[in-house]
Amino acid sequence: MAAAGVALSQNLLADALSTPKITKKILLTGGAYGPVWMKYLIALTGKEKPKVCFMPTASGDNQAYINYWMESAKKLSIDPYVQRVFIESSSQKQSFEEVLLGMDAILVPGGNTLDMIALWQAHGIDKVLKKAWEKGIVLTGSSAGAICWFHEGLSDSRPKALSSVKCLGFLKGSVSPHYHSSKDRASTYQNMVLKGDIKPGYGLDENAGLLFEDDKIAKVLAGDAKSKVYKVFVESGNIVEQVMEPEIIT
């Protein structure tokens, strides 16, 4: 019996060593998501022609946005798919889980972050996205599609003023997209971090981004030399904005 137990343990160890480790990946940008970023995303999937799901929930499944995506996809080496949330059972015969877990990447564009998170939670999509992340499906997006993966983010989802929106929490801390696109974004974010109204995190210029692997920053990226990522935190009672020099992708 002891020999059998040792053999079993050895077999389990061999299986564990032979099973490739899954790296959880999230690629996000401050607002831009053109061909350069799509090229980078395709490479991240490790597939020659990955299945990429476009999820325009934050825009209310805007048809013009969907048309633009599908037209852009024709120029890319991808198998494109659109997953709407405003659906009816007569036309969608697969569950959200069946669709999303069959993808190589899931791309979330901009819009209203608060409404998007609420709809995802109502449908259980938040839990499916976590399964997708843990499975190694690349999660990606810009603006609302960058905010959603963090604990919280600075958003224009509510009337009157920028505010903090609680999100999925796959990534620690917070983020502010469009960091220097609006004169109020950077200053509002810094003031909120200083007061403790939002967790410390990152400010992303439009064409700058971050690649997270297993919830840690793997790379700081930008599509041009002017765009930057900023680490924003409090030290000795003062706000600190630390430039994170990016690798330029082409």
Q: Looking at 151, 163, 178, 227, which residue is catalytic? A: 178
Query: Does the active-site annotation cover 90?
Result: no
Q: Looking at 143, 157, 163, 176, which residue is catalytic? A: 143
Place of tokens 């983010």: 153
Place of tokens 């960058």: 146
Query: Does the active-site annotation cover 151?
Result: no
Q: Known catalytic residues?
A: 143, 178
